[in-house]
Structure 1
Amino acid sequence: MTAQDVVDALWDNRSEAELTNIRKRLKPEEESFGVRMRILFDTAKAHVNLPLADVRTLLGHPAYEPRMAAFCILDFKARARKISRDERQALYDCYMDNHDRITTWDMVDRSAPRVVGGYLAGGDPAPLMELAKSPNPLRRRTAMTAPLYFVHSGSDTDVATGFEIATMLVADPDPLVCKPVGIFLKHAGERDRALLHRFLADHASSMPRVALRMAIEKLSAEERGQILR
């Protein structure tokens, strides 16, 4: 099982129709095969045992699909029931060392919660703080997306860290960042409704509208009305 096996499998499933769809969210100069997401996910899952050295090779590929498959493989590896701390660190290091290979929001969303959040849960949040300060919106997206892991599998301290990151990014106007802020708040509010209400009391007026609407999505109609008025 090698990186080339993954590339070949993706290439064999290319589609001109899908290429047209994918090109809409890529930069003009970015290469793409044109592979449906379901096929890409299935290919990644079939290669979950790919050595990390080969995952890194995929991350160096110029086309979108091999890199997206690599981030999916990292995610599938991080889902393993019996995964050691050292193995989590290896996945985290692979992600962070290759962050510059992330060119689309879905690469972050697919892997950041389990790969980055799964490693940092219960530990030092400093890496997330540094990502949140980055001028690169995709790094800021990682900072806000990784804490989704904390909501369901982290401690109360981890969840508080997620709210701290949200505070840092609450007024970020970039859609790549403000939407993840809203998504985190929506889910974190299910874990701690009181903390969400305190956050909104302090920051609702400074949030981009799209983030605010996402954040209050799971509140009652009455609560939403009070916040939006």
Structure 2
Amino acid sequence: MLTEIIKDLQKERNPKQAKLLQGFFKTGKGEYGEGDVFLGIKVPVTRGIVKKYVGMNFKNIEMLLKSKVHEYRLAGLLILVDKFKQGDERERGNIYNFYLENSDRVNNWDLVDLTAHKIVGEFLKDKRREKLYGLAEAKNLWEKRIAIISC
């Protein structure tokens, strides 16, 4: 499945759009998105691609999240959102834990804003929120943002 989703995403690459996104998401040296690589795929296109990969296992999702390619990480996170929507309470707990274990790869505002409230916020809706307080006090900008968006 990993090879297939990468092929599907690569088919949609747009070098002109990628260049614009590299600037918009501040990927230069010393900027908050330093090191991110973009394919130039618009979010609705990525959403459409991931629909057929909701059955992807956590190992392959983790591989997507470890990529420097922004759209691969976005795809992995959107798959998690879709899995979370379909999952029972146990599966949702597993997805919540996996998301937080990989929060270092949820490292740009769009990745957080499109997913944190749908996984972390939704999971903690009727639970204790101490984890959010810890994230809010983190030194990592994106973990703080996860806490804020999840409220």
TM-score, normalization by structure 1: 0.60
Structure 1 Cα separation of the partners of residues 16 and 42 of structure 2 = 9
Residue from 93, 106, 113 that aligns with 1:102:
106
Distance change >3 Å, CA 4–CA 20, structure 1 → 2: same
Structure 1 Cα separation of the partners of residues 96 and 21 of structure 2 = 27
Residue from 55, 67, 76 that aligns with 2:73:
67
In structure 1, what is the equivalent of residue 19 of structure 2? Answer: 20
1:89 aligns with 2:93: yes
Residue from 60, 85, 95 that aligns with 1:79:
85
Structure 2 Cα separation of the partners of residues 26 and 4 of structure 1 = 28
Structure 1 Cα separation of the partners of residues 124 and 55 of structure 2 = 23
Distance change >3 Å, CA 44–CA 26, structure 1 → 2: farther
1:44 aligns with 2:50: yes
Describe the superposition over 1:99-118 as per-residue Cα deviations: whole angstroms up to 9, x where unpaired.
Answer: 11122111111111121112
Query: Offset of 1:69 from its aligned partner?
Result: 0.7
Describe the superposition over 1:83-111 as per-residue Cα deviations: whole angstroms up to 9, x where unpaired.
Answer: 32110111111111111112211111111
The letter for the 2-side match of 1:111 is T
Structure 1 Cα separation of the partners of residues 42 and 118 of structure 2 = 23
Paired-residue identity, %: 24
TM-score, normalization by structure 2: 0.88
**Corresponding residue pairs, total:** 144
The letter for the 1-side match of 2:75 is A
Structure 1 Cα separation of the partners of residues 105 and 26 of structure 2 = 13
Structure with bigger RCO (C-alpha 8 Å, 6+ apart)? 2
Off by >2 Å, runs of 4+ in structure 1: none
Q: Secondary structure at the match of 2:13?
A: coil
Q: Map of 1:1-229 to 2, 5 A cutoff?
A: 2-24=1-23, 25-28=25-28, 29-80=35-86, 83-147=87-151
Query: Offset of 1:133 from its aligned partner?
Result: 0.4
Structure 1 Cα separation of the partners of residues 57 and 124 of structure 2 = 22
The unaligned stretches of length 5 or more in structure 2 are 29-34
The letter for the 1-side match of 2:129 is P
Task: Confirm or deny: 8 A CA contact 2:19 2:38 kept in the other structure.
Answer: no
In structure 2, what is the equivalent of residue 184 of structure 1? Answer: none
Describe the superposition over 1:151-171 as per-residue Cα deviations: whole angstroms up to 9, x where unpaired.
Answer: xxxxxxxxxxxxxxxxxxxxx
Task: Confirm or deny: 8 A CA contact 1:26 1:104 kept in the other structure.
Answer: no
The unaligned stretches of length 5 or more in structure 1 are 148-229
Task: Confirm or deny: 8 A CA contact 1:88 1:118 kept in the other structure.
Answer: no
- Backbone CA RMSD of aligned residues: 1.3
The letter for the 2-side match of 1:52 is F
Structure 2 Cα separation of the partners of residues 127 and 46 of structure 1 = 32
